[in-house]
Chains A and B, each alone.
Chain A
Amino acid sequence: MSNLKIVTGHYGSGKTEFCVNYAIQSAKINPTTLIDLDIVNPYFRSREQEALLSSKGVKVIGGSKGIEASDMPALPSSIYGQIDERFDTVIFDVGGDANGARALSRYSGLISKRDYDMYIVINANRPLTQTPEQAISYIDSIQAKSRLKINGLINSTHMLRETVAADIIKGYELCSRVQEATQIPIAFNVCPPFLNIGELEGIINKLFRIQLYMRPDWL
Chain B
Amino acid sequence: MAKVLMKGNEAIGEAAIRAGCRYFFGYPITPQTELPEYMSVRLPQVGGVFLQAESEIGAINMVYGASGSGARAMTASSSPGIALKQEGISYICAARLPCVIVNIVRGGPGLGGIQPAQSDYFQATRGGGNGDYRLLVFAPASLQETIEIVEGSFELSEKYRVPVLIVGDGMIGQMMEPIDFGEAPMQESPEKSWATTGTGGSREPNIINSLYLDPAMLEQVNISLDHTYKEIEANEQRAEEIGIQDADVVVVAYGMTARIAKKAIEESQAEGYKVGLIRPITLWPYPFASFEKINPNAKGILCVEMSMGQMIDDVKIAANGRWKTSFYGRAGGMVPEPDEIKNEIIKIIKGES
Residues of A within 8 A of B (CB): 11-12, 41-44, 69-71, 123, 125-127, 158-160, 162, 217-219
Contact = CB atoms under 8 A, between A and B. Distances in A.
Nearest to A127: B4
A98 B348 CA distance: 51
B70 interface: no
Interface string B188-222: 00000000000000000000000000000000000
B114 A12 contact: no
Nearest to A69: B115
Interface SS majority for chain B:
mixed
A219 B174 contact: no
Contacts of A11: 7
A44 B176 CA distance: 10
Q: Which 5 A-B pairs have the closest CB atoms?
A: A218-B263, A43-B174, A12-B176, A125-B5, A159-B178
B6 interface: yes
Given A43-B174, A69-B113, A160-B5, 8 more contacts: A12-B7, A42-B31, A70-B113, A70-B114, A125-B4, A159-B3, A160-B176, A218-B263
Contact of B174 (A44, A70, A126, A127): A44
Interface size class of chain B, counting residues whose CB lies under 8 Å from the partner chain: 20 to 34
A123 B178 CA distance: 12
B299 to A, nearest CB: 24
7 contacts: A42-B115, A43-B175, A125-B4, A127-B6, A158-B5, A162-B178, A218-B262
A126 B2 CA distance: 11
Nearest to B262: A218
A218 B5 contact: no
Interface string B224-251: 0000000000000000000000000000
Given A71-B30, A123-B5, A125-B5, A43 B170 contact: yes
Contacts of A126: 4-6
A44 B178 CA distance: 17
A219 B174 CA distance: 13
